[in-house]
Amino acid sequence: MKEKESLFSPRNLKSLTGPLSAGNPVIVLVLGICPTLAVTSQMKPAIVMSLSVMAVLSIGNVIISLLRNTIPPRIRIIVQLTVIAALVILVDQVLKAYVFEVSQKLSVFVGLIITNCIIMGRLEAFAMANKPWPSFLDGIGNSLGFGFILIILSFFRELLGAGTVYGYPVFEKIGLYSTGYVDNGLMSKAPMALILVGILIWIHRSFNKDLIESK
Amino acid sequence: MKALRKILDNIKPHVEKGGKFSKFRSTFDAFETFLFVPDHVTAKGCHIRDSNDMKRTMSVVVLAVVPAMLFGMWNVGYQHFLSIGQEAGLWENFFYGFLKILPIIIVSYVAGLGVEFIFAQIRGHEVNEGFLVSGILIPLIVPPDIPLWMVAVATIFAVIIGKEVFGGTGMNILNPALLTRAFLFFSYPTDMSGDKVWIADKADAFSGATPLGDALIGDLDKLPSVSDMFFGFIPGSVGETSTLAILIGAAILLFTGVGSFRIMISVFAGGWLTGLLMNVLAVNSYMEMDAYYHLLLGGFAFGAVFMATDPVTAAQTKRGKIIYGFLIGVVTILIRVFNPGYPEGMMLAILLLNIFSPLIDHYVVQGNIRRRLKRIKVKA
């Protein structure tokens, strides 16, 4: 019998920390761009979105991982979708109950978590072939990597686009507006989010040269 | 000039490879080739049309912009004194405008060239000359009272995102000057158009847009006379009000062969024909406006002559140039007439077609290949 792997073995830890940088779902795999563009104009929705994705992805990973030996390969995608959809509906109800305003702001994008390719990708690529505990860690890791990017983006977009950080009017407090500064309207539009993602990828790759594709 | 040459020759050994200041070689090279005709021009190659250095081509464009710029300076003063109800002489008008425009020119050059020099130093290539033109075009397509820091931010954005990330001059897919304007337009809409801009008693100074703004809401009676629009005694962004001055620039570009006559003519043709089509449909008063008004209004002429002809972002093939120009004209009028959100369509039309120009070229080339293959098959 194989020796039991400890809960935080290097391999497990790697599935937790890998997605933060070298395997980041947004800036390396370029998945989940839709919510990245749509909900990052302010920090609050971005954080709620990250937490929602974390709940759906980690629990979904565990459920699929538990079921992985019983799911017929032919219908695995539809089973995964059912699990995700059920979880998303749960998350949606929780958001509506406790943070109604934010859930209004996120509008359709909560429902669209179902189509977030990060979730489908991790369920298909990881949970279908791994035990529940590593799958759980993988879910947490990937949603952290996703949320990390979302929070960076939303920080800059909210600061430069509206002059606030998590709703707190920073620029107004330090008196920047009286010097003639005007908020940048482009920052709160989706195209600028795409450009910012590009800049993040640029910065990230200049620190991780091995990610740069050879020509 | 000789003294200058001597100074440069004195510095040269220090910045050559192995010299003390070899880090600054690209900076030195930029100044040397800017001041003197370099001895290392391209000698041959399939894409070479003449053996001019790029910088001299760019200098011609800068020269061609000068009439529009000088007139723009005068017009800024003229409009200013008109709005406060004062008479002012030629020089008074010009000097007022000159003082307004000069800071914008300086800021745009310092910001843009600063970025170019930094990138050239980091990447170790020559400083690209493309910004010489962009830097003079940017002040001409913004409202005269735009805050200078906005110009700086937008210029830096356009040079980095529009040009340097693609590999510098010659590799950009979008016209940097227009990208600057687009950035300003979407970032700071209240400072680019609307009631707040420039002269308070003129409704809208955006893009020569008192007339454009009037046309948009169907107020055709308020339009200035054709001669006013042609000579440019109308409020607007600095360089674009006078169609006459722009046409002088166009003549310089065409005479020296720097600008493409195919693009210029097809832009005007596209705009005019679409205008005629609008006249036929004519469901609102804007559509009934005479087609040639469109060509005189706003930034149409300026865009057609100086922006659409940018050799880097325009289509490269002869037939492609005609399609490219024609579509710019068409899209401009469509945006102007059908989109109330954007009174001026020239900027968006050119940027859109900039993106499409490689596609146009691709199909022109493919079509040519197919035609020639057919000819071979018939003979065989």
In sequence order, which residues have a C-beta less than 8 Å from that of residue B153 and are 6 or more positions away?
Answer: A184, B183, B187
**Residues paired with residue A165 on neighbouring β-strands, in sequence order:** A168
* Geometric angle at alpha carbon B123, from B118 and B124, rounded to 5°: 95
Model confidence at B223: pLDDT above 80? no
Contacts of B188 in chain A (CB under 8 A): 182, 184-185
Number of alpha carbons in the 13 Å side-chain half-sphere of residue B50: 9
Which DSSP string corresponds to B5-41? Answer: HHHHHHHHHHHSTTSTTGGGHHHHHHHHHHHS--S--
What is the structure's pLDDT at B23? Answer: 61
Give the residue-averaged pLDDT of A156-182: 85
Model pLDDT for residues B254-309, shown as the tens digit of each residue: 888 788 889 999 999 999 998 888 888 877 766 777 778 788 877 888 889 888 88
Model pLDDT for residues B3-37, shown as the tens digit of each residue: 777 777 777 777 666 666 666 666 666 666 666 66
Residue A168's φ and ψ, nearest 5 degrees, are -90, 120
Helix axes A117-125, A132-162, angle to 10 degrees: 160
Of the two residues A2 and A38, the one the predictor is more confident about is A38
Q: Cα separation of B259 and B307, whole Å?
A: 10
Q: Residue B147 and residue A195: Cβ atoms within 8 Å?
A: no
The nearest CA of chain A is from the CA of B282 a distance in Å of 34
Domain boundary assignment for chain A: 26-206
Q: Is A203 near chain B, with CB under 8 Å?
A: no
In sequence order, which residues have a C-beta less than 8 Å from that of residue B181 and are 6 or more positions away?
Answer: B138, B141, B142, B154, B347
Q: Is A180 near chain B, with CB under 8 Å?
A: yes
Of the two residues B360 and B117, the one the predictor is more confident about is B360
What is the structure's pLDDT at B78? Answer: 81
Residue the block writes with tokens 């030629």: B90
A165 by DSSP, 3-state: which? strand
B191 to chain A: closest CA residue? A182
Q: With pLDDT > 70 as the criterion, what percentage of chain B qualifies? A: 75
Model pLDDT for residues B114-137, shown as the tens digit of each residue: 888 888 888 777 776 678 888 888
Q: Residue B147 and residue A180: Cβ atoms within 8 Å?
A: yes
ipTM rounded to 2 decimals: 0.83
Contacts of A189 in chain B (CB under 8 A): 186
The first and second tokens of residue B131, run together, are 């910004």
Q: Cα separation of B145 and B158, whole Å?
A: 20
DSSP state of B166: G
Give the residue-averaged pLDDT of A81-91: 93
Give the residue-averaged pLDDT of A140-159: 92
Residues of B in CB contact (< 8 Å) with A are 147, 149-150, 153, 161, 165, 183, 186-191
Q: Residue A185 and residue B165: Cβ atoms within 8 Å?
A: no
Q: Is A186 near chain B, with CB under 8 Å?
A: yes
Model confidence at A187: pLDDT above 80? yes
Residue A42: which pLDDT band, with cuts at 50, 70 and 90?
Answer: confident
